[in-house]
Amino acid sequence: MYDLTGFQRDLLYVIAGLDEPHGLAIKDELEDYYEKEIHHGRLYPNLDTLVEKGLVEKGQRDRRTNYYTLTRRGRREIDARTEWESQYVDH
């Protein structure tokens, strides 16, 4: 996970916390957190990067809507990050 941007890490955490979210649901969650608009040109290329890295799987709900889920590797990366963080931050 060390090679991800902060935005990509946030995408992973949002996907982990929702049940097969579609892109707009992820976008809404991040807009609430960042308190500003997330443009499609930022969102979808970063989601594609996570798919290419094997951290997220992209499925198709219908012809227009994709959904995203963590892979086992994505879950392991989050768990490893949480363990690493716990050395420095008391959760």
Q: What is the DSSP string of the chain?
A: -TTS-HHHHHHHHHHHHSSS-BHHHHHHHHHHHHTS---HHHHHHHHHHHHHTTSEEEEESSSS-EEEEE-HHHHHHHHHHHHHHHTTS--
Write down the pLDDT at residue 54: 97
Write down the pLDDT at residue 91: 63
Residues in the chain where the model's pLDDT stays below 50: none
Specify whether the backbone of 65 is left (phi greater than 0), alpha (psi in -120 to 50) or beta: beta
Write down the pLDDT at residue 1: 84
Write down the pLDDT at residue 63: 87
